[in-house]
Chains A and B, each alone.
Chain A
Amino acid sequence: MLRLERLHIRVGGFELRSIDLEVREGDYFVLLGASGSGKTVLLETLAGLHRPVAGRILVDGSDISRDAIQERPMALVYQDQALFPHLSVRRNVAYGLERLRLDRQEKALRLQELERTVGIGALDRRMPATLSGGEAQRVALARALARQPRYLLLDEPLSSLDCGARSGLRRLLRSLHRQGRTLLHVTHDFEEALALASRVAVLESGRIVQTGTPLEVFRHPRSQFVARFVGLRNVFQGRLESCDEGGVTMGRFHVEDHVFSVMTDEAGGPGCLLFRGEDVCLLSERPRAELPNLCHGRVTEVTPARAGLEIGVDIGVEIVALLGDEEANRLRLRPGREVWVSISSAAGRYIAEAP
Chain B
Amino acid sequence: MRRLDNLHLAFTLLGGTLLLFIVAPLVAVFLRTSAPQLVQTALDPEVRRSIGLTLWTSMAATLLCAVPAIPLAWLLARRRFPLHSLVTGIIDLPIVIPHSAAGIALLGVLARNTPAGGLAAKLGIEFVSHPAGIIVAMAFVSLPFLIHSARTGFQAVPERLERAALNLGASPTRAFLTISLPLARRSILTGLVLMWARGLSEFGAVVIIAYHPTIAPVMIFERFGSYGLRHALPMTALFVLICLLLFVVLRLLAGDRDHVAA
Contact = CB atoms under 8 A, between A and B. Distances in A.
A88 B158 CA distance: 18
Contact of B260 (A44, A80, A85, A98): A85
Interface residues of B, number: 20
Interface stretch (A70-78, A118-126, A296-304, A307-315): A70-78
B182 A144 contact: no
B245 interface: no
Contacts of B72: none
Interface in B140-189: 158, 160-161, 163-171, 174, 178-179, 182-183
11 contacts: A49-B166, A69-B163, A70-B166, A74-B167, A82-B161, A82-B163, A84-B165, A95-B170, A95-B178, A96-B168, A143-B168
Contact of A78 (B164, B170, B183): B164
Interface in A68-120: 69-70, 74-76, 78, 80, 82, 84-86, 95-96, 98-99
A317 B163 CA distance: 50
B262 interface: yes
B259 to A, nearest CB: 9
B1 interface: no
Interface string B226-262: 0000000000000000000000000000000000111
Contact of B168 (A49, A85, A129, A147): A147
Interface in A34-52: 44, 47-49
A144 B168 contact: yes
B156 to A, nearest CB: 11
Contacts, number: 60
A98 B165 CA distance: 11
A325 B262 CA distance: 48
Contacts of A144: 168
A96 B260 contact: no
Contacts of B168: 75, 95-96, 99, 143-144, 146-147
Given A76-B167, A95-B165, 20 more contacts: A44-B163, A48-B166, A49-B166, A49-B167, A69-B166, A69-B167, A70-B166, A70-B171, A78-B160, A78-B164, A82-B163, A82-B164, A84-B165, A84-B183, A86-B182, A86-B183, A86-B260, A96-B169, A98-B169, A147-B168
